């Protein structure tokens, strides 16, 4: 056992990263893609690790998709105060931009 | 037509007003013999004093239902209520008092349903049940919910004859055929399904119950919906068309029981998690939504941002069907623990006043609070912000929202207008600004505790990795004690137990082996003492059997035993039978002991396994990264990587929601640096957050190290340069 991901897990995380670049535009589509990736793995005990990894990425995507509605109160791109602070921006700077 | 529209103009309402026998949600269709009986039961539930009197009688005369029935009829239920039955078009003579007596006796040890007590505190008259105006429908629905909740407990379900079906340690099964259908992929019953039946039905009474069932299901009250579907099924059954509705009710009932299994587990589990982590409370809102794996294979469970837990139906069914023996698959329980740890939040959180605000009000105050936190005081005082500022973080907030908040004393408008150039047109425009009042600041949760901040933090890839890594690390750390608190820690798993690196011998196997050994030795001694040839041969077979047993070679021992039986001596044959029974018992028990749930979970929390992603096999690299952080933090305190302090430090982070985890890590760094936390208010604190996020592992590579050292050095530098 190592930290290396299975090919399916690697692909699921690739989809997750792609969605994280543009959550509002991609999260919903990405959930669908990971669903398609996970479906053939269901019930296949030989693929249990792959399914676990795909579901980890899928869970993160589902929470990411859900977070959009949570922040904006109804979809649309969400801006994160803490995220922008972490990125080095200042609130006052953004407010005046 | 939507449910709400139907409630406004219910299709069956005019018919309901003309009912000769008004229904009593939650009872009819569960086995009561007459509608009049239902009306009396309904009245008992609605009148706490009468209920208590009836239950006291049942407890006093558990062996004599006739006495209970007579007491009910003659003493407890007043004449006026029997008159009301007649006035409603019913026949008081049709009340089956004995049936009620039996029921009360059977349930005499049950606690009185608190939900019913609370909901039906005000006395209800039987005649009052005829008041089925639109205004009272909601009350009727609430009553149905309360009564149904009281009846439809996960571990106690009525069969179709009104009897309580019980199954020790698990749930009663009244709908086996539908369980099979569910396992075969039957879709859950939806409001749409019920409305389809409503459209098909020509019977106004059936339609009225279906209407209520749809409304209840739409409101998320499956139990009440089941009760109404059963009502509809009963009435439809009289007219020869109830099977389909019965199937719907049974299927929904199954769904309800599955849902209740997870909800019951999570309710108990949320308390356990709060205790184990030392958290303030849990953000799970008490709701469970089940989904089919085939529909959403991408995840097993998710705690939504509104606090609802989505849980895969197949995992939930495993929990529901767990009858108390060996646990075939511990994963559903670990998954539930993981989700509950996501819900762990610090004390405080959102006040009732805060929760009572409209979503846009909260969003506006959240945004203002967040902006204040970034001002030079680090949020120590409020600053002025425009609507445009607010809308950057809360796009749905309007001027009306701001005016409304100001009108309620939550915002204060500036005395002057400001102006600035439109970045696109270059034209100057004036605008107003507002700041939060003390009242608003008092009711607004700390920014890291708001729903908006948690969900926003998860949009940052590192925020999401940190959240999942620490949550899974908490799952791994606490699973053994969590299982014990949930009462499943001693349950055997399918996994072999180990002792000092070797399989642990099953105690049943070991004790049976000792007994068999003793019996074989007795036979060997007796036969050896007999000089006859056949006996000597049998003695040799007995010796071989002893050796086989010693080697745990059970098939070999059986072969040797067969030779003993061939001797034809009745006493030896009888002893051989007894020995064979022992061998069979050993075979069934198995050589190796099975690890219990807690033992198995303890095995998984070995730090070496966690570092390799080999614990519960979820979030491997994120969990390894989280462990690296807390091991480094423990090392800074002089504690080893396997010390209990590692878990304490992880708990400290897991007590925070998503938005609070990285700030908690920063606090650990400042503490380890021995610096004054006040010195880090505002920008220095944010800079440490930024550093940790920037250096946090983004995948399996580097997940076995952490940015602790870098963050600690930065904190120490800042502390030294700002004496």
How confident is the model over A7-61, as pLDDT tens digits?
999 999 999 999 999 988 898 899 999 999 999 999 888 889 999 999 999 999 9
User: Given an 8 Å threshold on Cβ–Cβ distance, is A35 in contact with B298?
Assistant: yes
pLDDT value of position B450: 63
- Chain B residue numbers touching A46 (CB-CB < 8 A): none
Q: Looking at residue B500, what is its pLDDT?
A: 77
- The reported pLDDT for the residue numbered B39 is 78
CA angle, residues B576, B580, B582, in degrees to nearest 5: 120
From the CA of B694, how many Å to the nearest CA of chain A?
9
Q: What is the pLDDT of residue B641?
A: 93
> Minimal Cα–Cα distance from A95 to chain B, Å?
5
User: CB within 8 A of B502, min separation 6: which ones?
Assistant: none
* Whether the predicted pLDDT of B56 surpasses 70: yes
pLDDT at A56: 96
Q: What is the pLDDT of residues B389-424, one digit of tens each?
A: 888 777 788 899 999 999 999 999 888 777 777 777
Pairing outcome for strands B309-312 and B301-303? antiparallel
What pLDDT is recorded for position B5?
36
pLDDT confidence band for B461 (50 / 70 / 90)? very high
Residues 342 to 361 of B: which have CB under 8 A from any A CB? 359-360
Mean pLDDT in residue range B193-208: 81
Q: Does residue B15 register a pLDDT over 50?
A: no
pLDDT top residue among B367 and A31: A31
Q: Is B289 on the interface with A (CB under 8 A)?
A: no
- Residues 6 or more apart whose Cβ sits within 8 Å of residue A24: A68, A75, A76, A77, A78
Q: Exposure string (b/e) for B260-292, b if CB count within 10 Å is 16 or more?
A: bbbbbbbeebbebbbebbebebbbbeeebebbe
Q: In the prediction, which pLDDT does B17 show?
A: 26
Which among B393, B619, B689 has CB closest to A81?
B393
* CA angle, residues B539, B540, B546, in degrees to nearest 5: 90
Query: How many CB pairs lie under 8 A apart between chains A and B?
Result: 174
The predicted pLDDT at position B376 comes to 65
Q: Please report which confidence band the pLDDT of residue B153 belongs to, taking 50, 70 and 90 as the band edges.
A: very low
Check pLDDT > 50 for residue B472: yes
B484/A contact by beta carbon, under 8 A: no
Average confidence (pLDDT) over B576-585: 93
Say which residues have a Cβ less than 8 Å from residue B562's Cβ, sequence separation at least 6. none
Q: What is the pLDDT of residue B609?
A: 93
B447–chain A nearest CA distance, Å:
9
CA B131, B132, B133, B139 dihedral sign is positive
Find chain A residues with C-beta within 8 A of B293's C-beta: 42
CA distance B422 to chain A (A): 9
Residue for token pair 């039986």: B565
- In whole angstroms, give the CA distance from residue B688 to residue B673: 12
The CA distance from B75 to B9, in Å, is: 42
Q: What is the pLDDT of residue A97?
A: 25
Res B78: pLDDT: 81
Most confident of A11-25, B30-44, B339-353: A11-25
What pLDDT is attached to residue B175? 23
Is B483 in CB contact (< 8 Å) with chain A? no
Least confident of A40-44, A93-97, B182-186, B453-457: A93-97
Q: Which H or E element spans position B582?
A: helix B570-589
pLDDT tens per residue across span B519-540: 999 999 999 999 988 889 999 9
Give the mutation candidate from B294, B299, B689 for the A interface (greatest A CB count, under 10 A). B299
Residues 6+ apart with CB under 8 A from B713: none
What pLDDT, on a 0 to 100 scale, did the predictor assign at position B31? Answer: 53
The more confidently predicted of residues A83 and B283 is: B283
| Two structure tokens written together for B618 | 């979820």
The pLDDT score that the predictor gives to residue B27 is 38
Query: Of A10-19, B5-14, B444-453, B696-705, which gets the smallest average pLDDT?
Result: B5-14
- Closest residue of chain B to A90, computed from CA coordinates: B374
What is the per-residue pLDDT for B94?
A: 78
Other Cβ atoms less than 10 A from the Cβ of B499: the count is 10
Distance from CA of B170 to the nearest CA of A (A): 25
- Asked if the model's pLDDT at residue B207 lies above 80, the reply is yes
Tell me, yes or no, if B494 comes closer than 8 A to chain A by beta carbon: no
pLDDT higher than 90, residue B28: no
Task: Enumerate the residues of chain A whose CB falls inside 8 A of the CB of residue B686.
Answer: 85-86
Q: Which residue of B has its CA nearest to A40?
A: B297
pLDDT digits 0-9 by tens, B82-113: 877 777 777 777 787 877 887 787 777 665 54
Measured between CA atoms, the residue of chain A closest to residue B461 is A20
> Which among B283, B467, B653, B289 is positioned nearest to A64, based on CA atoms?
B467
Closest alpha carbon within chain A to B703: A3
| Contact assignment for A81 to B456 by CB distance below 8 Å | yes
Distance between CA atoms of residues B693 and B461, nearest Å: 9
Tell whether B446 is within 8 A of chain A (Cβ).
no
CA distance B421 to chain A (A): 9
- Each residue's pLDDT tens digit, B165-199: 222 222 222 222 222 333 333 467 777 888 888 88
Over residues B472-495, mean pLDDT: 93
Which residues from chain A sit within 8 angstroms of residue B300, using beta carbons? 55, 59
Going from the C-alpha of B143 to that of each of B25, B607, B721, the distances in angstroms are 7, 52, 67
Torsion over CA: A51, A55, A56, A61 (sign)? positive
Query: Is some CB atom of chain A closer than 8 A to the CB atom of B377?
Result: no
- Closest of B289, B21, B4 to residue B141, by C-alpha: B4
Range scoring the smallest mean pLDDT among B125-134, B582-591, B608-617, B668-677 = B125-134
Whether residues B613 and A2 touch (CB distance < 8 A) is answered with: yes
Query: If you measure CA to CA, which chain A residue comes closest to B392?
Result: A79
Residue of chain A minimizing CA distance to B466: A60
Q: What is the ipTM of this complex?
A: 0.76
Looking at the DSSP bridge assignments, the partners of residue B302 are B310
For the segment B247-300, what is each residue's pLDDT rounded down to a tens digit?
788 788 777 888 888 998 999 999 999 999 888 888 888 888 888 888 899 999
Distance from CA of B434 to the nearest CA of A (A): 14
Min Cα distance B227 → chain A (Å) is 33
Partner-chain contact A81 B374, CB within 8 Å: yes
State how far the Cα of B580 lies from the Cα of A90, in Å rounded to an integer: 81
Inter-residue contact B689 to B373 (CB < 8 Å): no
Closest CA to B315 of B329, B294, B298: B329
Q: Do A23 and B459 touch (CB under 8 A)?
A: yes
Asked if B691 is an interface residue toward chain A (Cβ–Cβ < 8 A), one would say no
**pLDDT (tens digit per residue) in B581-599:** 999 999 888 888 888 999 9
Q: Quick check: B433 pLDDT over 80?
A: yes
| Contact present, B121 and B48 (Cβ < 8 Å) | yes
Surface of B (599-628) touching A: CB under 8 A: 609, 612-614, 617-622, 624
The pLDDT value recorded for residue B133 is 33
Do B464 and A71 count as a contact with CB atoms less than 8 A apart?
no
Whether the pLDDT of residue B160 is over 80: the answer is no
pLDDT at B647 over 90: yes
Note whether B185 contacts A: Cβ–Cβ < 8 A.
no
For chain B, percent of residues with pLDDT exceeding 90: 32
Smallest Cα distance from A43 to chain B, Å? 10
The reported pLDDT for the residue numbered B32 is 63
Q: How large is the average pLDDT for residues B622-650?
A: 95
- Given this model, what pLDDT does residue B226 score? 82
């Amino acid at each position: 056992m190592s930290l290396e991901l299975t090919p399916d897990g690697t692909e699921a995380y690739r989809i997750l990263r792609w969605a994280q670049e543009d959550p509002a535009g991609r999260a919903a589509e990405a959930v669908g893609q990971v669903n398609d990736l996970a479906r053939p793995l269901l019930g296949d005990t030989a693929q249990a690790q792959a399914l676990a990894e795909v579901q980890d990425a899928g869970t993160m995507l589902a929470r990411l998709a859900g977070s959009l509605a949570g922040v904006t109160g109804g979809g649309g791109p969400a801006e994160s105060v803490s995220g922008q602070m972490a990125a080095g921006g200042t609130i006052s700077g953004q407010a005046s931009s | 037509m939507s449910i709400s529209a139907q409630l406004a103009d219910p299709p069956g309402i005019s018919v309901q007003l003309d009912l000769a026998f008004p229904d009593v949600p939650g009872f009819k269709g569960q086995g009561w013999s007459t509608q009049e009986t239902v009306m009396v039961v309904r009245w008992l539930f609605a009148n706490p004093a009468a209920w208590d009197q009836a239950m006291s009688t049942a407890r006093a005369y558990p062996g004599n239902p006739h006495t209970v029935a007579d007491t009910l009829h003659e003493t407890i239920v007043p004449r006026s209520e029997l008159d009301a039955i007649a006035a409603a078009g019913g026949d008081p003579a049709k009340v089956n008092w004995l049936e009620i007596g039996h029921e009360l006796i059977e349930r005499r040890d049950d606690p009185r349903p608190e939900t019913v007590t609370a909901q039906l505190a005000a006395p209800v008259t039987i005649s009052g049940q005829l008041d089925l105006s639109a205004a009272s429908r909601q009350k009727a629905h609430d009553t149905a919910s309360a009564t149904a909740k009281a009846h439809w407990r996960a571990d106690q379900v009525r069969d179709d004859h009104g009897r309580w079906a019980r199954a020790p340690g698990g749930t009663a099964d009244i709908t086996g055929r539908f369980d099979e259908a569910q396992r075969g992929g039957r879709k859950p019953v939806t409001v749409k399904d019920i409305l389809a039946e409503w459209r098909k039905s020509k019977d106004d009474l059936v339609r009225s119950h279906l209407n209520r069932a749809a409304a209840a299901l739409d409101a998320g009250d499956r139990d009440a919906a089941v009760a109404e579907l059963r009502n509809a099924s009963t009435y439809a059954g009289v007219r020869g068309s109830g099977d389909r509705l019965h199937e719907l009710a049974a299927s929904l009932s199954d769904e309800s029981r599955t849902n209740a299994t997870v909800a019951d587990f999570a309710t108990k589990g949320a308390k356990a998690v709060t205790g184990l982590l030392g958290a303030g409370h849990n953000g799970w809102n008490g709701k469970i939504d089940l989904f089919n794996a085939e529909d959403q294979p991408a995840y097993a469970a998710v705690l939504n941002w509104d606090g609802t837990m989505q849980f895969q139906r197949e995992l939930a069914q495993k929990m529901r069907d767990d009858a108390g023996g060996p646990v075939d698959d511990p994963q559903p329980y670990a998954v539930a623990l993981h989700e509950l740890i996501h819900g762990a939040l610090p004390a405080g959180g959102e006040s009732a006043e805060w929760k009572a605000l409209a979503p846009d009000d909260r969003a506006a105050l959240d945004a203002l609070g967040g902006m204040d936190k970034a001002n030079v005081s680090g949020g120590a005082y409020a600053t002025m912000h425009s609507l445009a500022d607010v809308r950057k973080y809360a796009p749905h907030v309007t001027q009306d929202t701001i005016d409304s908040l100001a009108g309620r004393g939550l915002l204060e408008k500036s005395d002057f207008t400001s102006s600035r150039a439109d970045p696109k047109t270059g034209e100057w425009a004036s605008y107003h600004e507002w700041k939060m009042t003390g009242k608003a600041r008092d009711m607004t949760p700390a920014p890291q505790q708001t729903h908006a901040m948690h969900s926003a933090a998860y949009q940052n890839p590192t925020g999401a990795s940190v959240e999942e890594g620490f949550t899974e690390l908490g799952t791994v750390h606490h699973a053994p004690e969590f299982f014990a608190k949930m009462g499943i820690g001693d349950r055997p798993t399918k996994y072999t137990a180990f002792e000092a690196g070797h399989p642990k011998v099953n105690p049943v196997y070991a004790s049976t082996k000792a007994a068999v050994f003793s019996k074989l030795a007795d036979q060997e001694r007796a036969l050896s003492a007999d000089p006859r040839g056949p006996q000597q041969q049998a003695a040799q077979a007995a010796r071989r059997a002893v050796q086989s047993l010693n080697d745990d070679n059970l098939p070999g021992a059986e072969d040797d035993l067969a030779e003993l039986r061939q001797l034809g001596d009745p006493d030896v044959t009888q002893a051989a039978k007894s020995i064979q029974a022992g061998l069979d018992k050993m075979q069934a028990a198995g050589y190796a002991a099975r690890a219990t749930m807690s033992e198995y979970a303890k095995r998984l929390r070995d730090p070496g396994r966690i570092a390799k992603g080999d614990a519960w096999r979820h979030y491997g690299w994120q969990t390894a990264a989280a462990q690296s952080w807390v091991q480094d933090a423990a090392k800074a305190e002089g504690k080893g990587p396997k010390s209990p302090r590692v878990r304490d430090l992880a708990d400290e982070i897991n007590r925070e929601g998503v938005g609070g985890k990285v700030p908690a890590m920063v606090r650990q760094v400042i503490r380890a640096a021995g610096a004054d936390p006040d010195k880090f208010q505002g920008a220095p604190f944010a800079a440490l957050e930024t550093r940790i996020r920037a250096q946090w592992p983004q995948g399996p590579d580097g997940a076995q190290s952490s940015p602790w050292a870098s963050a600690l050095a930065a904190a120490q530098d800042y502390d030294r340069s700002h004496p």
